[in-house]
């Protein structure tokens, strides 16, 4: 398995992780598909979404693959009036990642990151290793050693 920048960053900071590879010949595999391919609980497999506020600040939200963002809760979690998803075409220039391979670790810039609070229910969570076909499993509290992170309720009921 080739090392991604996310894995190299975790190595550099001496953060323990496991890595997984999944087949993706047909292109992007959705989050639930990734959880199925890895034979993991979808509540433990997280996706990374990027939003923009009216004040033009970007924020990163990390949530279980089987949940949807509640944009009002997201805005409140970062003290903004409102936030909306960025367009797919903005993702690569802003973060350095493509859709389906976006990781909260190693973006071009450092953004405030909010992880859904259920991450704390697990010893480790799984999320993109920064490239389609690769995932890493990390203790959610270890992420605070790399990025500005908080744990909030950000999903729809």
Q: Is it the case that residue 123 has pLDDT exceeding 70?
A: yes
Q: Is it the case that residue 141 has pLDDT exceeding 90?
A: yes
3-state SS track over 69-103: ECHHHHHHHCCCCCEEECCHHHHHHHHCCCCCCCC
| Domains contained in the chain, CATH given | 5-152 (3.90.960.10)
- Give tens-digit pLDDT for 38-61: 999 999 999 999 999 999 999 999
User: What's the CA gap between 83 and 72, in Å, rounded?
Assistant: 7
pLDDT confidence of residue 27: 62
């Amino acid at each position: 398995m080739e090392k991604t920048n996310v894995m190299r960053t975790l190595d550099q900071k001496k953060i323990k992780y496991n890595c997984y590879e999944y087949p993706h010949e047909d292109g992007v595999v959705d989050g639930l598909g990734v959880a199925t391919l890895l034979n993991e609980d979808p509540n433990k497999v997280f996706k990374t979404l990027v939003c923009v506020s009216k004040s033009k600040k970007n924020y990163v939200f990390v949530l279980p693959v089987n949940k949807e963002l509640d944009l009002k809760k997201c805005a409140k979690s970062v003290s903004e009036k409102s936030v909306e998803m960025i367009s797919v075409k903005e993702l690569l220039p802003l973060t350095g990642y493509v859709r389906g391979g976006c990781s909260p670790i190693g973006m071009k810039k450092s953004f405030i990151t909010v992880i859904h609070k259920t991450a704390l229910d697990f010893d480790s969570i799984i999320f993109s290793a920064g490239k389609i076909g690769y995932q890493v499993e990390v203790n959610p509290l270890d992420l605070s050693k790399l990025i500005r992170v908080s744990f909030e309720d950000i999903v729809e009921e």
